[in-house]
Structure 1
Amino acid sequence: MTIESRLSPLDEERMEPQQRRVLDAILGGPRGNLDGPFLAWIHSPELADHAQRLGAFCRYGTRLERRLTELAILFTAAWWQSQAEWQIHEPIAREAGVAESVIEALCEGREPAFERDDEALVVRLGRTLYTTRRVDEALYAEAVSAFGEPAVVELVGVFGYYALVAMTLNVFEVRRGSGPLPFDEPPAV
């Protein structure tokens, strides 16, 4: 699938050695491609290097079930209305077990009718964090009771990392493919 953006295209023959090293690490890692924010971050190899290692952990290494990680990513994509983040992670979330009704509700900006309490908790935590920039004692205690303290720390890391991803994709207008976009584009300012 083609990736489009407002970034200047990479010229592999003119890459700096550090760019080449980071590109090789990304392509040789669990992602295997220069998809999503890496298209932008490779222009700053130092950022790309640190971000790709954090991202690999947030996506593949946390204590959370893959279904919950992908739900947190989709919630973040919907919150930021990040076209490419949604385009990349929507099929992955479905494959990981997130219900179609939850995916549709998030994309449409509606509150999902959750069948699983752990999914409702992930979205409640994300919504509270993004809306109030805090999490009250009751919600914190509920999350720690459900997931354990280390997993809550990691979940907050997933929300933070994918907010960075969403901002990157939005600023550089990264799109995957030429089909319809999942979110309406806001009017130009």
Structure 2
Amino acid sequence: MKGPTGARLPEFDRAAASPEQLAVLDEILTGPRGNLAGPFLAWIASPELAQHAQQLGAFCRYRTGLPLRLSELAILVTAAQWRAQAEWQIHYPIAIEAGVTESAAEALLRGRRPDFADADEALIYNFAIELYDAKRVSDMTFAKAVQRFGHATTVNLVGLLGYYALVSMTLNVFAMREDDDAPLPFME
């Protein structure tokens, strides 16, 4: 089974997979993702975790109420915070295609605050950075998020950030890369 590489992962053999592993594998491959990019080759070792995580991931990626550009910005902020190589490799082109500027992505990659022309992008960045750095979000930033996006979408933003932190941790622990031959975005 071809997918992201990881030095700490055994080769996944579909022929030796359990029925539970095959069920979650088929759901991932027939769902909106259609591939095993990201943490799924690690999670498949625990099919129950893989099932719950992939369902949460599908929600966080496609149904948060945020435009794709803002979701992808939040994912890039998370990848940069965790220095998750594969997360960046996978989501950088998606983010650029969704409208995140290359200069904003480059600033995130370098650990700097981007110069945002868009207030929504600045709000997503501020929310994510406050949550990751302070482990809280200020009353002012929270109020701005709820005013702009609504309460449910703000809850979903927290879920998106938490889910992609889990993804980043998984990718980092299992030394996963989207492409072993590509230069790494972050210093190891």
TM value normalised by structure 1: 0.96
Partner Cα distance (2:63, 2:3) in 1: 27
Partner Cα distance (2:98, 2:85) in 1: 20
SS at match of 1:135: coil
Partner of residue 49, structure 1: 51
Partner of residue 11, structure 1: 13
SS at match of 1:21: helix
Partner of residue 179, structure 1: 182
Partner of residue 115, structure 2: 113
**C-alpha root-mean-square deviation of aligned residues, in Å?**
1.0
Partner of residue 92, structure 1: 94
| 1:77-113: CA deviation from partner (whole Å, max 9, x where unpaired) | 0000000000000000000000111011001111100
SS at match of 2:121: helix
Code of the residue aligned with 2:93 in structure 1: it is P
Partner of residue 61, structure 1: 63
Partner Cα distance (1:114, 1:132) in 2: 21
Unaligned runs of 5+ in 1: none
Partner of residue 155, structure 1: 157
Partner Cα distance (1:142, 1:62) in 2: 17
1:137 CA drift (Å): 1.2
1:163 CA drift (Å): 0.2
Unaligned runs of 5+ in 2: none
**Greater shift after overlay, 46-55 or 127-136?**
127-136
TM value normalised by structure 2: 0.96
State percent identity of aligned pairs: 59
Aligned residues: 185
2:78 to 72, 76, 79: 76
SS at match of 2:41: helix
**Greater shift after overlay, 1-10 or 44-53?**
1-10
Partner Cα distance (2:155, 2:178) in 1: 30
Partner Cα distance (1:175, 1:168) in 2: 11
